[in-house]
Amino acid sequence: MKKIAVAGFQHETNTFAPSMARYEHFINGGGFPAMTRGEAMLAFRDINIPAGGFIQTAEGLGYELVPIMWTAATPSAHVERDTFERICDEIIAGLQAAQADAVYLDLHGAMVAEHFDDGEGEILRRVRAAVGDDVPVVASLDLHANVTQAMFDHADVLCAFRTYPHVDMARTGSRSAMILDHILRGARYVKAIKRLPFLISINGQCTFLDPAKATYELLDSLEQETGAHLSFTPGFPAADFAECGGAVWGYAVDEAVLQDAIVPLLDFVLDHEADWAVDFLSPTEAVAQAVALAAEHRQTVVIADTQDNPGAGGDSNTTGMLKALHAAKVSNAAIGLITDPEVVQLALQAGVGQRFTAALGGQSGAAGDTPLTAEFVVEAVCDGKCRYDGPMMHGVEADVGTTVRLGLDGIQIVVSSGKAQMLDRNLFKMAGVIPEEKAVVVVKSSVHFRADFQPMAAAVLVAKAPGPMTADPADLPWQKLNPHIKTSPMGKTLAEAVSGL
């Protein structure tokens, strides 16, 4: 029985975000599973994360698994130097002790550390140095991965998600296990990678909608026709380093087969460049449209507060959308999660049913974001723990710390001590908010929420309220990005924008 070492180290880094990822963030995991070591990782087989799908499939194929550690943290700014080194050291020591026949890594693909712009490239370099050239190394990646040359060179195979919201995380891990099985049985692949010449906003990457939907449908059909293994990542367009951006890559038994698969896929993406662009609403526009649509359809309308998405590096504490709801006198609305541990403590001191005055949120530092000072009613208190039942991360136990539900003139506000992206309705329901009963629901998310919220919604709108997660990459103050890449579809290259062309 051959042995496969299994490890995971996930972080999506927004280098423009306000706060770094520290070791304690990886211990807790935020909206991800807590840091897990050894045999306890085998319980992941029942949840929708890549390692879970890999473990379940690899066990079914008869491999002996040597689980080392798995850890993730909510997206933020850079991973602190000491944190990166501490986690890497543990993984490498585990690999050296395992003496396994192969390695599987559950990575994100868009990690930037304090001292390494290419986090996963450095992880894979160290893994390759530890196990040697003859041990297969396969890694799964997020759809938002910025795949670098170092990542591509040091891994035998990189296998990316194909859905956003990421409902196929476990399936991607399973697919990684099947490919690794082929390698261990003697398969040998050639590989190639092609990079996109433009950045794509994460809001334009949703696979419920074209052009992303059509692109992945083509990817599937090309795989079936050619037998190649293909991946396409539109990238995470908020990591300021030279290789930020999307890519198409693949593996096949010979070069001709590989080119027959990669070339038409890349051409399709490039031919639809204009279709990847995104239009955004202002907070006032989004609320007005939502109220009208909810009244017309007698059904909930969901607004994405995309520029404060903690799943992309925001701290989930801006108030632009809450102010817009309040100014429009929307009397049957909910918003969450707003992360403000100080206001949570004030609410606890006041007690359920009591009123208190506080300055809520507004600590992001983003231009135009200020606290909302008002008199709130403490409607409910909970421990901030819930199990995700929606398609995205189904089965994961989340813990955002003590959480309160505040009332403000008919708006229910879920305020948490810790942050997590609003990707599952249970983050509302744990505080007693029933989203299906609201006219308007505002979520601190960009796309992941659609997996659980879109089926209940009459419409989904995307708003650009002031926040640290700039939705349009063209608006970011790039310093290290390749100057010859366009910062938006059909837009200017960074060099053209700087020169004023």
Buried b (16+ CB within 10 A) or exposed e, 415-448: bbbbbbbbbbbbbbbbbebebeebbbbbbbbbbb
Residues 175 and 104: beta-carbon distance below 8 Å: no
Neighbours of 241 (CB within 10 A): 20
Parallel, antiparallel or unpaired: strands 157-160 and 229-233: unpaired
Per CATH, which fold does 1-188 belong to? Rossmann fold (3.40.50)
Residues present in the chain in total: 501
Q: Which residues of the chain have pLDDT under 70?
A: 499-501
CA 200: distance to chain centroid? Answer: 15
List CB contacts of 421: < 8 A, sequence separation 6 or more.
Answer: 31, 74, 309, 310, 311, 316, 444, 445, 448, 449
pLDDT value of position 381: 98
| Domain ranges, ordered by start, for the chain | 1-188, 190-278+472-501, 283-470
Domain formed by 190-278+472-501, architecture = 2-Layer Sandwich (3.30)
* pTM of the shown model: 0.86
List CB contacts of 372: < 8 A, sequence separation 6 or more.
Answer: 319, 322, 323, 326, 359, 360, 361, 362
**Dihedrals φ, ψ of 302, to 5°?**
-110, 135
- What is the tens place of the pLDDT at every residue in 178-193? 999 999 999 999 999 9
Which tokens in the block code for residue 151? Answer: 């990542």
Give the containing element (helix H, strand E) for 7. strand 3-10
Residue type, 123: I
pLDDT value of position 501: 53
pLDDT value of position 500: 64
pLDDT value of position 323: 98
pLDDT value of position 68: 98
The residues pairing with 476 across neighbouring beta strands, listed in sequence order, are none
